[in-house]
Amino acid sequence: MVKQPRKKSTGKEAVKLLIRLVILAAVLYVIFGYGFLITQVRGQGMFPAMKDGDVCVVFRTAAMDLTGQKLQQDDVISYRLEDKRYFGRVVAVAGDQVQLGTSGSVQVNGITEKGEILFPTFADVNVDMTVEDGTVYVLGDYRTQAEDSRVQGAIPLEAVEGKIITILRRRQL
């Protein structure tokens, strides 16, 4: 009679699988709890760059991007004020002089903003300020629909959740 090799206990295999799943869950928790944020866009303040219902991936940082660089002009960020999430484009960083007129023109350090803002951008306020250390000045792309630094003032870096690294359009899901 030929002896058959003994099979490993399925209980040990189940425990090993459970341990691997727990480790995987812990790694994913750290990555998405502290490294990245997946969130949905609410409102039209960043239209057409970001539309209501789009899903975006945010690299969680206070003042750094993926390469370790500080936030710069034209970076699109996510920030939280009073338990509400906002999205906006960094127009000016600490030390920059911002001038915003009721005609909708924006000047940073004396240079008029250039870009492809396709929608009405008229502002309700005149702004002439120097951005303080530890803050950024943020505007939405669709300025008549955006709640941004014109209303909230310069955004503290502590409120910045991170930089938008990708957008998944609602219609592509």
The residue-averaged pLDDT of 78-100 equals 94
Please check the confidence at residue 173 and state whether its pLDDT lies above 60.
Answer: no
Give the pLDDT score at 50: 93
Model confidence over 107-127: pLDDT tens digits?
999 998 876 565 556 666 788
Domains in the chain: boundaries: 38-172
CB atoms within 10 A of CB 37: 17
Q: Which stretches does DSSP call E strand in the chain?
A: 36-40, 55-60, 76-81, 84-93, 97-100, 106-108, 111-112, 127-130, 135-139, 155-156, 160-168
CATH of domain 38-172: 2.10.109.10
Give the pLDDT score at 136: 94
| Ranges 20-24, 104-108, 140-144, 148-152, most confident | 20-24
Beta bridge partners of 81: 84
Q: What is the DSSP string of 147-161?
A: -SHHHH-SEEGGGEE
pTM (two decimals): 0.78
